[in-house]
Chain A
Amino acid sequence: MKRSTTADGRVAEDLGEHGTVHEARGVGQEAGVLSAEGLVKRFGGLVAVDGVGLTVPRRAVVGVIGPNGAGKTTLLNLLSGALQADSGTILLDGSDITSANAARRAGAGLRRTFQNIRLFPGMTVIENVVVGMHVQTRGWLTGGILGGRRVWAAEAAALQTAYDVLEEMGLADQAGALAGSLSYGRQRRLEIARALASAPRVLLLDEPAAGLNSAEKRQAADMIAGLPERYDLSVVLVEHDMDLVSRTCSSVSVIDYGRPLSDGPPAQVLRDQRVIDAYLGTAVTTV
């Protein structure tokens, strides 16, 4: 397996971790930072997600793949709270967040990015990141008008953290520029920086490599693979790009027609005949 040499041997390390994942699953889902059970979402007559579960271990990168329209993004929306599930439960760090809305979940440390980048284009790059730290900053109307030590201290601290994250993501040189003026690849990175600055427990990435060229994709793969260690978080990666998935993920869940099809380590899943039939086709031989 040549893969194990990429990303500073991280993939091999993650694959090693995967063994404990299976054990943990046998014991129960408490071991996962984020775990979802039996999620169902109907749009009228269409069942977009039908009984999908997911366990995300601590500091793991878990991939979600599937053909177009399989319900990947819907699943991510259910996890992030952008959509409410019709049935099923979602636990974050052991507490039930099934009925919490998107803002609550974000506040609890469950952050996401969007498939079609959603920044605040008319705000500066650093402001975008500080907005991402909404939960870490203080004051509302009276606090905003009158200020006070507590408010300003939190502002200064947030600004510093934001700047440091921007520096790590290689965006600090444009901290004062409008987010909308950034190049496409940088906008993608900014969206991740915005989520990272709040020190999330789990980061949901919706096709973070979409629209990137191959060099940028490799860069993104290294960055994503390094996130769990650097920021002490887990990643759920919804992606089309098989190369990126196999470079970064310790385990992969495949869904098709909203149903769970297969899961396991990428190498095993990509060889699964059902997965090949569903959508990978001959791609496996080229991976």
Chain B
Amino acid sequence: MNLDIAAARRGPAHPSQAFLPTKRSSWGPVGVLGIICLALIVVSPSDYMFRIATQVMVYSALAMGLNVVVGLAGLLDLGFIAFFGVGAYGYALLASDLHGIHISFWLMLPVGMLLAALLGILVGLPALRTHGDYLAIVTLGFGEIVSVLLVNLDRPVNITNGPQGVLGIDLPSVAGFQIGADDVFFGGFGLTTTMQFFMLTALYCLGVMFACLRLRNARVGRAWRAMRESEAAANACGISVVRAKLSAFVFGAAVAGGAGVITAAWYGSVFPDSFLFSESIKVLAMVVLGGIGSVWGAIAGALVLVLMPELLREFDQYRLLIFGLVLVLAMRLRPQGLLGSRSPGASRRRLPAWLASRRKGVR
């Protein structure tokens, strides 16, 4: 039983090795995205393009995090953006003049993830004992609580600065160099402040992608997918369903928390209305549009949903109408999502079946 991979490689190959998801399989896709990001930096289009690209990276990270919760573990979380808000506000409050505290960005990045994760446990423990639609309602309520708190925690003691938000958030710095403070030039090649933030965000996004790809085929990812397909059978296989659900929830929360910290640093300001229910829905739409359960799908969903409103700017007031129409058509014509997973081991269930199974609750 105590088999070593290296030893197994040396000996005659066991037929089971054809099904071994190798360690390297997660590096490939991460490398592809990394090369795309690098190419973008080399080509260096306008600052406007980089702002959009950075947004795509932030939303990709969020969508990949939510994809673990919704796509792999099958938990409909409608309050996901609250964890993003906790990360963003965590950094804003602890690294600005509002409270006179200036904690390092690099410390706050893990701390923000941890804060969001802790909140995830706090909400998850009671919420995950509910199923299907009920879980959706509980997470919806939680999301609302967080956004209301952000607006109202300026009285009696000013904590969040209320609807005015927090301005003048610190920039991250590496060895004395402040990211996003000034454009830098190496000979003829320039890195604008936006490009610097793009690099930071892209690195985070790549890290999240790597984690998601690894987890998908790891023991915990199998447990999540098994649980989504049949809770009773997962239980009968020795999987603690509550623990599996909680870890999916917490992982998603941590990813969102980290994205929040980075976004707060990038914008230099946070406002409570950036973390409304509609944002949760937007991220969920990215996951569903891209293809539930697919990592590339989440990225594609983020790309489309960030780009489309920009491309549709010339339609002016009809913009949102067309945007909505395109979404409806996309789901009608491709219910499994743009990149609906076709790889072995992935769910081939289509959206209507998936929604129907949600409606039925425990299965």
Q: Which A residues fall within an 8 A CB radius of B? A: 80-82, 101-104, 106-107, 111-112, 114, 118-124, 126-127, 130-132, 134-135, 137-141, 143-147, 149, 151-153, 155-157, 159-164, 172, 175-178, 180, 194-195, 198
Contact = CB atoms under 8 A, between A and B. Distances in A.
Contact of A119 (B5, B17, B230, B239): B230
Contacts of A137: 219
Q: Majority SS of interface residues in chain B? A: helix
A103 B238 CA distance: 4
B235 interface: yes
Contacts of B15: 163, 172
B19 A126 contact: yes
B235 A82 contact: yes
A127 B232 CA distance: 17
Contact of B5 (A103, A126, A152): A152
B349 interface: yes
A155 B232 CA distance: 23
Given A119-B233, A134-B219, A146-B214, 10 more contacts: A106-B237, A118-B230, A122-B229, A122-B347, A124-B345, A126-B19, A140-B247, A144-B221, A151-B219, A156-B4
B349 to A, nearest CB: 6
Given A119-B230, A152-B23, A131 B239 contact: yes
A157 B16 CA distance: 9
A159 B220 CA distance: 15
A132 to B, nearest CB: 5
Contacts of B2: 153, 157
Interface of B: 1-5, 8, 14-20, 23, 210-211, 214-215, 218-223, 225-226, 229-230, 232-241, 247, 250-251, 344-349
B229 A123 contact: yes
B16 A134 contact: no
A107 B238 contact: yes
A106 to B, nearest CB: 4
B220 A157 contact: no
A145 to B, nearest CB: 5
Contacts of A144: 214-215, 218-221
27 contacts: A80-B236, A81-B235, A82-B232, A103-B239, A121-B229, A122-B345, A123-B225, A131-B223, A131-B226, A131-B237, A134-B219, A135-B238, A141-B247, A151-B218, A155-B20, A156-B3, A156-B16, A156-B20, A157-B1, A157-B3, A159-B17, A159-B19, A163-B14, A163-B16, A164-B16, A176-B19, A178-B348
A134 B344 contact: no
B132 to A, nearest CB: 18
A155 B348 CA distance: 25
Contacts of A151: 218-219
Nearest to B293: A122
A139 B219 contact: yes
Contacts of B232: 82, 102, 114, 118
Given A119-B233, A127-B345, A160-B14, A147 B19 contact: no
A137 B120 CA distance: 26
A124 B344 CA distance: 6
Nearest to A157: B3
A101 B218 CA distance: 24
A93 B215 CA distance: 35
Nearest to A130: B222
A134 B17 contact: no
A270 B229 CA distance: 40
B88 to A, nearest CB: 23
Nearest to B254: A141
Given A127-B222, A131-B223, A160-B3, A175 B19 contact: yes
Contact of B220 (A102, A132, A139, A147): A139
B346 A140 contact: no
